Amino acid sequence: MTRLSYRTLSNLPDNVITADIAPASVQVGIVHLGPGAFHRAHQAMYTQQVDKDGCWGISAVSLRSGQLKDALQQQNNLYTLMILDDKPQTAIVSALKEVLVLEQDRAQVMARMTSPQTHIISLTITEKGYCLNNDGSLNLEHPDIRHDLAHPDNPISAIGLLAAALKQRKHTNTGDVTVISCDNLPDNGDTLHGAVTLFADQSDTALSQWIADSICFPNTMVDSITPASDDALQKAAEQVTGLEDAWPVQREAFTQWVIEDKFSGPRPGWEASGAIITHDVQVFEKAKLRILNGSHTALAYLGSLCHLNTVYEAVTHDAMHTFLNTLLHEEILPSVDASDALNPGQYAADILKRFKNRHIHHLLSQIAWDGSQKLPPRILQTVKDNLAANRSIALLSATVAAWILFVVRASQSDTKIIDPMGETLHELVKTHNGHLTNVADALLDDKRIFGELSQNTAFRNTVHSQLRIVAAIDSQNVSQQLAALCQ
């Protein structure tokens, strides 16, 4: 089959959106670290839609894998975006001008990150990429951070790479660059700013001060349900476009991008493609992390225990839907303040509708990745707030209990636990011979995940009592056990 490329764009049928395709000659103005499916389906499309001056091309930098570079370089870095909804759409995205791999293309990466034409460095590196402690500070003992502190000119972490690039930009007095985290972390810009300045401070306090004074790290909230690409998507894309695409991406029609109005230099006019540029991101970020991502994490672990495979299956399962509604209305929504910008109840109702999108095959097993990193911002922060406000934590604790059981069962079936603590979790289960109560106590003792909650008796007792219920779930009693969790 003919490959997607600038030369074959004219083969595309009229129903494929190509309106915003930029010529290959567009100048790079953005470097993006971590060009996974979410970036390619979300920020790249926002940027492509507004880059009328042709100066916001994206240099995509993979920190580890060369797969994306290999896939896209045969097709001029073009790719297909399939928007799966009742009114499906297909677009060709041309925002990526190159894909670099840090290890292979280090000099080019640094040249791009330090170029006077580069005014945005953005990131989607997932929670684990920030190398943080439970309190959101940089973990100076993290292996990648220790490596980069010892080899500052050869960094392997995003933190070390940003510090090295900003050091060079300080030297050339090109501080008109904004660093934009687009990950699901509380106060993601402030958190990244703190990590990079602390890293720099270990060897160069003047650099740390310059970064603190000169470089903006706006907080953001990003949202669009973007399942991982699979063979089915590749076939569907080819059926629509008639062209081979080695790595198409997919998402729902809904997207949202809220960016704090804090920039060190020029930026794309993202508001023209629907982004919200505001001084108050926190309202949007807290609601999204707790209502959408918190619900996702609850469905991921409880749904897996109930032998459900996708978000759609879980949210259309009566007993699971009742559990989720109860979790939202009794424990999550009360922790999110209403504001002029956002009505939490309506926001939650809209999210449940999005979860019921039958065109989106969003695997619970994908959402279950990195639980040790996702539980704190999505579930445990809400537990802390609810304890302080004397509100229920029963269903939040049931989610934690389901994660504990998920870990035990994965370990006992020798299934890889995709989590930066994966090996540690496996070892812990083995140390306790898979004894559920002992494993639960050992996990709850781990302050890297539970922080101050490790010492909270009410929380620990609630997790244990919910654990006894989730452990009893089998294919015959799912509805009863889910109902029992809500008692």
Q: Which residues bind ligand CS2 (CB under 6 A)?
A: 184, 223-225, 292-293, 296, 366-367, 374
Closest residue by beta carbon to ligand CS2: 296
Query: Toward ligand CS2, which CB reaches closer, 191 or 456?
Result: 191
Residue 394: Cβ within 10 Å count: 18
* Min CB(176)–ligand CS2 separation in Å: 30
Minimum distance between the CB of residue 374 and ligand CS2, rounded to whole angstroms? 6
Residue 139 CA: distances (Å) to CA of 28, 145, 218: 32, 8, 21
What is the smallest separation between the CB atom of 194 and ligand CS2, expressed in angstroms? 22
Q: Which is nearer to ligand CS2, 4 or 259 (CB)?
A: 259
Q: How many CB atoms lie within 10 A of CB 27?
A: 15
Give the C-alpha separation, 126 to 193, whole Å: 16
Q: How far is the CB of 114 from ligand CS2 (least distance, A)?
A: 31
The DSSP-derived string for 88-116 is -EEEEE--EEEEEETTTSHHHHHHHHH-T
CB of 199 or CB of 270, closer to ligand CS2: 270
Which residue blocks in 243-368 are alpha helix, DSSP H?
282-287, 294-305, 311-315, 318-327, 344-355, 364-367
| CB of 400 vs ligand CS2, minimal distance in Å | 16
Tell the smallest beta-carbon distance from residue 345 to ligand CS2 (Å).
Answer: 19
Residues 6+ positions from 184 with CB-CB distance below 8 Å: 127, 222, 288, 289, 293, 374, 377, 378
**Comparison of 371 and 451: residue with beta carbon closer to ligand CS2:** 371
- 297 touches 465 (CB < 8 A): no
Within 8 A by CB and 6+ apart from 86, the residues are 359
Contact criterion met (CB below 8 Å) for 68 and 35: yes
Give me the least distance between CB of 366 and ligand CS2, in Å please.
Answer: 6
HSE-CB of 455 using CA atoms within 13 angstroms = 2
Q: Please, what is the minimum distance in Å from the beta carbon of residue 293 to ligand CS2?
A: 5
Of 149 and 360, CB closest to ligand CS2: 360
SS3 (DSSP) at 276: strand
If the CB atoms of residues 208 and 220 are measured against ligand CS2, the closer one turns out to be 220
Q: Quick one: which of 367, 449, 351, 330 has its CA closest to 400?
A: 449
For ligand CS2, the closer of residues 119 and 296 by Cβ is 296
To ligand CS2, the closest distance from the beta carbon of 68 in angstroms equals 18
CB 79 within 8 A of CB 249: yes
Closer of 129 and 155 to ligand CS2 (Cβ): 129
Are the beta carbons of 123 and 180 closer than 8 angstroms?
yes
Give the nearest distance from C-beta 249 to ligand CS2 in angstroms: 13
Residue 452: its H or E element: none
The CA angle 163-165-169, to the nearest 5 degrees, is 110
Angle in degrees, 0-180, between the axes of helices 205-214 and 158-171, rounded to the nearest 10:
90
- Closer of 115 and 184 to ligand CS2 (Cβ): 184
Which CB sits closer to ligand CS2, 55 or 333?
333
